[in-house]
Structure 1
Amino acid sequence: MKYRHLFFDLDHTLWDFETNADETLRHLFAEHNIGRHGVTVEKFIKEYSDINHGLWRLYQSGKITQQQLRVTRFPRTFVQLGLREEDSPAGISEQFTDILPQKKAVFPYTYEVLDYLRDKGYRLHLITNGFRDIQYIKLDSSRLTEYFEEVVTSECCGHLKPDTRIFEHALERTGATSQESLMIGDNLECDVLGAYNAGLDQVYFNPDKRRHFNQITYEISCLSELKEIL
């Protein structure tokens, strides 16, 4: 077979971040009675998601730290909602990071495809920009730990995707070569372009079928399509 080592992204590729975050935010909205401020749960989730995505872009470009991301996203959400930073409940950020990784939703066909790939003899690994402590809890909660030989986090090697050094670190750690490796992820910049620049073929997981003009080795909208490639 052409590939021996398959490197997956975790969030938004296998672990359904949006579904799990939605459940967590609804729980926190109710627990802290945030609706008393005249805000709907849908508006709260939308503003938080927009703020969080923006902060993650800053984090991935090295402009803010992990701690800054964690402590500022909820106060900024409340300001964006027309409220005050002080209206953000004490401890809500810690609650979010405690509850979220215990959620179990994964994308359709995740287990079926991972079983298929493992049974065919592929060696499976993860490369993630997510926080190390959180990612391991997610893997355990969603019963994904058993599938992966190596979990390479940006914290463990000091570089974030799309920096080629995290891919090079992953290859070295797994004993793989770029020619026999394939990166599978949902993010065009971090996963696809990063892997391309490191010499790896790529699978762009694009469930929303977003338009783009990038040259990609493979593109899928459902994980089950990996069976047609591998």
Structure 2
Amino acid sequence: MRLDEAKRAVFFDVDDTLYDHLIPFRKTVEQVAGPRIPLAAFPYEAAYHRLRYHSDMLSLELGGAGAMEAGAATDYMRMRRFQLTMAEFGLGLTDAQAEAMQAAYIGCQYDIAMFDGARELLEALIRRGDAVGLITNGAPGHQRRKIEAMRLDGLIPRELQFVSGALGWDKPDARLFRHANARTGTRPENSVYVGDSWRNDVIGALEAGWRVVWFNHRRAARESGHEPTREASSYAELRALLLEG
């Protein structure tokens, strides 16, 4: 698909940007670890951030998302991330317990719904004539099932959906964003990326020359001297920035 290079492109991250990624994690902890920890006091958001950190680091050790579709190494990584995360919060997990947590997590991950206002914003941007797409880290099959669960194929053509595991680069590698520009015939200076992760989304898109709206709905701290173009904490704010700003 080739677009007018003057056309504005607005691309979105998927996990914890289009839907609340904390919900399946919270359900998993409650289901598997509930009898062992005081759930009312458990710091779900802090633990969720550490799970994502360990996922990223272990994935890199295995060769990135392109190597993460299936296999014993992938199974080990997904189990190990739960051991490392929960140990930081005082809960040691055996291999069997971590495997049970991973199985519960996968069972919850495709039972998802978009943030309030997310679909409406995508529809409004498309009606305005923007090229609206996705750039997401992950194994292709895994991310496809999330996209299908949110019924996004009816809104966003497959040609505008870029999954790192199918391409060989993971965010924050700027080549992923440059590839999206090359495939869609758009320019970095006319491209906006919306994402929640400082490390993957803000740094990656900025270093590719894109403008970035940091969707900081979890009030996370900045991790470097990079400066996002704008920051938003809700879809109401995103709508104002992208449609009215």
Per the normalisation by structure 1, the TM-score is 0.81
Map of 1:54 onto structure 2: 53
Q: Shift of residue 163 of structure 1?
A: 0.7
2:29 is equivalent to residue 17 of structure 1: no
Structure 1: which 5+ runs fail to align? none
Q: Is the 8 A contact 1:48 1:74 kept in 2?
A: no
Map of 1:39 onto structure 2: 37
CA distance in 2, matches of 1:215, 1:6: 18
Structure 2: which 5+ runs fail to align? 1-5, 69-73
Structure 1 pair 24/138, CA: closer, same or farther in 2 (3 Å)? farther
Structure 1 pair 10/85, CA: closer, same or farther in 2 (3 Å)? same
Q: Is the 8 A contact 1:195 1:202 kept in 2?
A: yes
Q: Is the 8 A contact 1:205 1:219 kept in 2?
A: yes
Q: Which moved more, 1:139-148 or 1:204-213?
A: 204-213
Structure 1 pair 46/117, CA: closer, same or farther in 2 (3 Å)? closer
2:30 match: secondary structure? helix
CA distance in 2, matches of 1:90, 1:197: 37
Q: Is the 8 A contact 1:79 1:85 kept in 2?
A: no
Q: CA RMSD in A?
A: 2.9
Structure 1 residues 187-226: aligned runs within 5 Å: 187-210=197-220, 212=222, 214-226=226-238
CA distance in 2, matches of 1:199, 1:47: 31
Map of 1:4 onto structure 2: 8
Map of 2:71 onto structure 1: none
CA distance in 2, matches of 1:79, 1:207: 26
Q: Shift of residue 52 of structure 1?
A: 1.8
Q: Shift of residue 74 of structure 1?
A: 3.6
Residue identity opposite 1:215 in structure 2: E
2:109 is equivalent to residue 101 of structure 1: yes
* 1:12-65: CA deviation from partner (whole Å, max 9, x where unpaired): 111110123222443445xxxx62xx43445496796365233124146x2345
Residue identity opposite 1:63 in structure 2: E
CA distance in 2, matches of 1:41, 1:195: 37
Structure 1 pair 117/74, CA: closer, same or farther in 2 (3 Å)? same
Q: Is the 8 A contact 2:28 2:101 kept in 1?
A: no
Structure 1 pair 47/221, CA: closer, same or farther in 2 (3 Å)? closer
1:133 match: secondary structure? helix
Structure 1 residues 146-157: aligned runs within 5 Å: 146-149=154-157, 150-157=160-167
Q: Is the 8 A contact 1:48 1:73 kept in 2?
A: no
Q: Which moved more, 1:218-227 or 1:194-203?
A: 218-227
CA distance in 1, matches of 2:99, 2:219: 39
CA distance in 1, matches of 2:46, 2:125: 38
* 1:121-172: CA deviation from partner (whole Å, max 9, x where unpaired): 1121111113322211112222233222222111111111111111112112
Map of 1:63 onto structure 2: 61
Map of 1:121 onto structure 2: 129
CA distance in 1, matches of 2:170, 2:38: 35
Q: Is the 8 A contact 1:6 1:184 kept in 2?
A: yes
Residue identity opposite 1:93 in structure 2: Q
Structure 1 pair 23/198, CA: closer, same or farther in 2 (3 Å)? same
CA distance in 1, matches of 2:46, 2:209: 37
CA distance in 2, matches of 1:103, 1:165: 31
Equivalenced residues, count: 222
Structure 1 pair 40/148, CA: closer, same or farther in 2 (3 Å)? same
